[in-house]
Amino acid sequence: MKPQEPIPHNYSIRRLNWIFALSSLGLLVVTGLIVGYDYIRGWKWFQLEFMRMQRERIVQEVQLASSAENKQLLANLDEQTRRNSLELAAHRDQYLSAQKAFDAMEGDHYRADQDYRFAKANLDAQRYIAEVSIVQHRSDAAQQQTEYERQTKHLADLQVRLQEVTRQRDAAKANVDQWLKKIKDAEDKRKELTASVDLLDKQLNLVDMDRFSTNWILSQPMLDFVNPVIKIDQVVLNDLSIDMNYMNVPRVDRCQTCHRAIDTPGWESKTEAARLSQELQQKLDAYDIPQEKRKETEGRIAELKRIQDAPSDILNPWRTHPKLDLFVGSASVHPLLEYGCTVCHRGQDRATEFGRAGHTPASPRMEHRWAERTMLTGGFFPLPRDFEKRNWGYEENEFVETPMYPRHYYEAGCIKCHSGQMSVDRGDDITKATQTVELYGCYACHKINNWRFSDLRKPGPDLGGIAEKTTPEWAFRWISEPHDFRSTTRMPSFFYQRNMVDPSVVPPQERAHNIKLQEAEIHAIVSYLFDKSTHRSWSPPGAGDAARGKQIVGSVGCLGCHVDTEQVKDEKTGRIRLAKREDFPLERNYGFNFTGVGTKTNAAWIYNWIKNPKAYYTDAPMPSLRLTDQEASDVTAYLLTMQKPGFMNTPIRPPDAQAVHDLAKGYLINTLSDRDAELRLRSMSGHDQLVYLGHRSIEKYGCYSCHNIKGFEGLKPVGTELTVEGSKALHLFDFGFMNDQQWKNEDGATEHVIHTVPSWVYNKLRNPRIYDDRRTKVYNDKLKMPNFHLTPEEARRIAMVVVGLTKEKVAENRMAGLDARTRFIEEGRKRVSQHNCRACHVVDGRGRAIASTIADANFFPPDLSPEGARAQSPFLFNFLKDPTVMKIRPWVSVRMPTFHFSDEETNTLVTFFAQEGQRSQFDTARNVNPTAQNVMIGKQVFTMLRCGQCHVTTPVQNPENPPVPNTAETASLAPNLTLARLRLRHDWISDWIRRPNEMIPGTRMPANFPRDAATGGFQSPLAMAIDTPQFAQYKATLLPLFKGDEKELKRTMSDAVALTDYLRDYIWSIGIIQMRTASPDGQAPSMAMPQPSLPPVAAPAAKSTRNQRGAPAAGSGPGR
């Protein structure tokens, strides 16, 4: 066979071989590169570094555990074991015989046990046979029955035997153990000592990354799919989904992939460790930590000290979360496995690279530090950069839709789940932020479709009757610059702002022109308002005494909502300066500052406004203090002395006709041709032109959003809707030329705009016209949001709310406060906030701003913390509608005002209190009648405890006017107890007597039955006292009531619960049961309005004449 001829080729095989060889080599290299690219990830380095840190720490701990001291201890123990063994050997015979006896007993026990079990089984079988033979009427029934009884007896014998043997065996065992015990004890101690070291060794194995260790091999490329040590760590959160347009996908948080120690204590930063250890140390020093926890706390402090003393600080991302007790910690309310991270912080959940995760710098400095690049700038292999300087190679990522909230805006994340709550527990920042938004009325111009910000009243006063209240000259100056008149006002400045007049950004010529236009607009607005205003005539006040007026203002409660001075002493410099809003608590900024009210308005208006604010406009937030004509006249006289000299002296130029014409025409040509517009203007008088322009200007600036203005009813608010503003993409915010620019604000602070949404919003709030800088815009296109002169802190808070308003949704079960009870409570809280109840009262543990103006705490308005548990709903309803129905502490000068609540609103409040006190609104206990015997015992207890020393029990004929005894100084008086039956819940009375200080900390009501420190039970002072000669007379009276049973009497006298129940029964028995109900419109009966030109106020229900001056200190306040 001849060899096959080579197949002829048109190409060179040799060359092909080369090509194949080279390309396969190339492929190999590329494959290697692919593997490498896949293998080398930035996050792996963070894990490796963390493992190194862990190793370092474990090694240190191992050293501590195996210190010389411990070694000595171990040696001692070994020595002891050895000695014990020797001793055991010496008494070997005794030990062996004991052991032998025990072995024998074990055998006996086994046999006895077996016998017993078998006999028991046999007995069960016999029982069946016996039963069957009886049922089937067998002949051997009786025989079987006898057999059954015999076996029963046998079993009982065996049981006794078994018990005996067991006892003997246990004794033998104890005998043996006695010999072994010493050795065993030493061994146990040894185990205890070495256990910590063993545990540490195990932990060390887990983080071991030595070359060729198991972990090392398992993390090599191509091998790391088996059981990788370094891997992505993630939490899947189905309830907290992400909206991917048209579908929701679960959130998958991978943050711990790098933030390794986020939920593990012990990795705090040095500053954080210092803060925590200081906190703990303070608590420890003040004995604030229970004895059994002291050691644990000391250990924790030592750990924190070690962190502080360590040569290097623990850097992010390896730090522990600073609020482990609230977030991330497994025992916290937001555990990591259920809530993850991005639901609060935002950011790209699945991302594992620094930039892609959406990290957002808080300041330009931080941004530059992050972005600085050192080694490999490209990022093909995302290696760790210079982590000591924290240069992460950060690059702003325009495509991350949900960048993280920067540091100062963290609590914005709370809104997502907590927007149905008025306050977030331990979320002080966000609670204050939402309050700030409410206070400034942001919701009025910017619709916020969210429970928290809907259904609120317009923040500004009604302007329908402005001509009755003030003059056009005042209004002109006020609109020009409200802060010139009142430094604490919340009315923002619309005119003469940065983009109109600031010489540094507006050329001089344009500036002069702008001023003319602005003046024309203000004139136009004033003309419109006064043109449309009503002109009712108000009755003038009588002669008033300003000094008495000042005293009334200071005492009846005006200062809960209002401030009467504009001069405050600066805490830092000690100098007197103009007041700022933050000088006063939130509640006292609710009403206006009295300064200048005499300049602004006139006597008749003030007089009628304080007499009945609702007469001026029906939705006035100001309640009626029920002042008499004389009191109102006095207050009017005082308020008229509150002048702002000089304010009315600033010159007003008449409007520039050309400017009015141009502006008006600018509006007209939107719908008319140039010629028609000109004709229309010519047909109008100068005043008409102004009014027309005023209408347009009010529309332009949106004055109607905050004020009621005739002709603008039902118009949509002027500003951008903010409901989902936080989800708006970055590129939709107009930064103008301000990106990465510094600018100087009017208060002298330098601000810096960086390219993030929070920064944009913050700078906008600091100066709303800032983004017009260097832009060329026509007059009407310029930004027109007014300037609220917010402090950096206020601006930050409001910006926090704005960026927190997102379209992200969470499952309903993750929303806070959605259950029915919480809804009732939150609705009530909203009312409480709207009506500023906290100005005078403590509600939910906060409030009573008025306290700073009342010298004696005995005359404070009441703490309402236990109100739901305390007050009967019918009483509360009547009292809220009309506080004159009952005067609980007539000697208190601060009055509960009449708010003219609607029935619905009153019910909301009553339900709120009841639900918060975990009570139902109505109960039958109010109809209970105590037995005569109980009442008699109660009366004696009442006398023995001297309750009457402070509490009055004189029957009240007229609850609206209870008598005030003169026996003690009024500061030590307590409510008249005959009002209790109408007012207090039956069960609450005895509960309150038992533990007043637990219900209202700091109350004046003393604990008559103090708790025993050891047992926590109530102690009765009468237990011992009843036998003393002092109390002989009481004892004599009481004995017959206990049928002469002295033992029973003494038992009762030591039973605090029984005694308080008797006291309650007595108090109940002396109670009056009648009170006037509130009239349907919530008006106090004597409050017929004297205004002649008003529609008549609903006729009084009953008792139309009441002489207020007759009451000793005509005042009223709810009970303590």
Interface contacts to another protein, rule CB under 8 A? 29, 32-33, 36, 40, 48-49, 52, 55-56, 59-60, 63, 209-211, 216, 221, 285-288, 309, 311, 381, 383, 858, 944-946, 949-950, 967-969, 971-972, 996-997, 1001-1008, 1010, 1013, 1021-1022, 1025, 1028, 1030-1031
Pairwise CA distance, residues 532 & 692, whole Å: 12
If the CB atoms of residues 130 and 1053 are measured against another protein, the closer one turns out to be 1053
Which amino acid is it at 433? Answer: A
Pairwise CA distance, residues 719 & 445, whole Å: 5
If the CB atoms of residues 384 and 874 are measured against another protein, the closer one turns out to be 384
Q: Helix/strand/coil (H, E, C) string of 187-200?
A: HHHHHHHHHHHHHH
Pairwise CA distance, residues 273 & 565, whole Å: 44
Pairwise CA distance, residues 1025 & 1038, whole Å: 14
Cβ atoms of 1016 and 922 closer than 8 Å:
no
In the complex, minimum distance from the CB of residue 230 to another protein, in angstroms, rounded to a whole number: 10
Pairwise CA distance, residues 82 & 84, whole Å: 5
Q: Taking Cα atoms as reference points, which of 932, 792, 882, 804 lies closest to residue 1084? A: 882
* 3-state class (DSSP) for residue 939: helix
If the CB atoms of residues 511 and 995 are measured against another protein, the closer one turns out to be 995
In the complex, minimum distance from the CB of residue 1105 to another protein, in angstroms, rounded to a whole number: 34
| DSSP β-bridge partners for residue 576 | 569
Helix (H) or strand (E) holding 82: helix 68-90
Determine the distance from the C-alpha atom of residue 776 to the mean position of all C-alpha atoms in its chain, rounded to a whole number. Answer: 45
If the CB atoms of residues 1 and 1013 are measured against another protein, the closer one turns out to be 1013
Pairwise CA distance, residues 717 & 736, whole Å: 25
Cβ atoms of 1100 and 1088 closer than 8 Å:
yes
In the complex, minimum distance from the CB of residue 995 to another protein, in angstroms, rounded to a whole number: 11
Query: What b/e readout covers 957-976, taking b as 16+ CB neighbours within 10 angstroms?
Result: eebbbbebeeeeebeebbbb
In the complex, minimum distance from the CB of residue 744 to another protein, in angstroms, rounded to a whole number: 43
If the CB atoms of residues 33 and 576 are measured against another protein, the closer one turns out to be 33
In the complex, minimum distance from the CB of residue 801 to another protein, in angstroms, rounded to a whole number: 34
**What angle do helix axes 1056-1069 and 1046-1053 make, rounded to 10 degrees?**
90
Largest CA distance in the chain: 146
In the complex, minimum distance from the CB of residue 197 to another protein, in angstroms, rounded to a whole number: 15
DSSP for 291-353 reads: HHHHHHHHHHHHHHHHHHHSSSPPPTTSPPPTTTTTEESTTSSEEHHHHTTHHHH-S-TT--S
Q: Which residues contact 80 (CB under 8 A, 6 or more apart)?
A: 182, 186
In the complex, minimum distance from the CB of residue 1112 to another protein, in angstroms, rounded to a whole number: 16
If the CB atoms of residues 1025 and 1113 are measured against another protein, the closer one turns out to be 1025
If the CB atoms of residues 542 and 1001 are measured against another protein, the closer one turns out to be 1001
In the complex, minimum distance from the CB of residue 1038 to another protein, in angstroms, rounded to a whole number: 15
What the block records as the tokens of 1029 is: 């000669």
In the complex, minimum distance from the CB of residue 1001 to another protein, in angstroms, rounded to a whole number: 6
What the block records as the tokens of 988 is: 């609450």
In the complex, minimum distance from the CB of residue 934 to another protein, in angstroms, rounded to a whole number: 20
In the complex, minimum distance from the CB of residue 192 to another protein, in angstroms, rounded to a whole number: 24
In the complex, minimum distance from the CB of residue 1004 to another protein, in angstroms, rounded to a whole number: 4
* Token pair 């993390």 in the structure block, residue: 219
In the complex, minimum distance from the CB of residue 711 to another protein, in angstroms, rounded to a whole number: 58
In the complex, minimum distance from the CB of residue 284 to another protein, in angstroms, rounded to a whole number: 11
What the block records as the tokens of 701 is: 């600036």
* Token pair 């209240």 in the structure block, residue: 469
Pairwise CA distance, residues 607 & 616, whole Å: 11
If the CB atoms of residues 285 and 819 are measured against another protein, the closer one turns out to be 285
If the CB atoms of residues 844 and 1027 are measured against another protein, the closer one turns out to be 1027
If the CB atoms of residues 63 and 565 are measured against another protein, the closer one turns out to be 63
In the complex, minimum distance from the CB of residue 310 to another protein, in angstroms, rounded to a whole number: 9
The angle at the Cα of 849, spanning 847 to 853, to the nearest 5 degrees, equals: 150
| DSSP β-bridge partners for residue 10 | none
Cβ atoms of 308 and 302 closer than 8 Å:
no
If the CB atoms of residues 52 and 111 are measured against another protein, the closer one turns out to be 52
Q: Which residues contact 1071 (CB under 8 A, 6 or more apart)?
A: 977, 978, 979, 980, 981, 982
Please report, to the nearest 10 degrees, the dihedral formed by the alpha carbons of residues 838, 842, 845, 846 taken in order: 30
In the complex, minimum distance from the CB of residue 57 to another protein, in angstroms, rounded to a whole number: 9
In the complex, minimum distance from the CB of residue 56 to another protein, in angstroms, rounded to a whole number: 4
Cβ atoms of 217 and 228 closer than 8 Å:
no
* 3-state class (DSSP) for residue 646: coil
Cα 774 to Cα 238, 500, 501, 515, 743, distances in angstroms:
48, 12, 13, 18, 12
37: left (phi over 0), alpha (psi -120 to 50) or beta: alpha
If the CB atoms of residues 310 and 1088 are measured against another protein, the closer one turns out to be 310
If the CB atoms of residues 377 and 1028 are measured against another protein, the closer one turns out to be 1028
Pairwise CA distance, residues 308 & 314, whole Å: 10
Pairwise CA distance, residues 929 & 920, whole Å: 21
Pairwise CA distance, residues 326 & 430, whole Å: 15
Cα 232 to Cα 41, 241, 260, 297, 1115, distances in angstroms:
11, 20, 11, 34, 69
If the CB atoms of residues 145 and 1003 are measured against another protein, the closer one turns out to be 1003
If the CB atoms of residues 508 and 1002 are measured against another protein, the closer one turns out to be 1002
If the CB atoms of residues 125 and 1032 are measured against another protein, the closer one turns out to be 1032
If the CB atoms of residues 163 and 1030 are measured against another protein, the closer one turns out to be 1030
In the complex, minimum distance from the CB of residue 203 to another protein, in angstroms, rounded to a whole number: 14
If the CB atoms of residues 211 and 1109 are measured against another protein, the closer one turns out to be 211
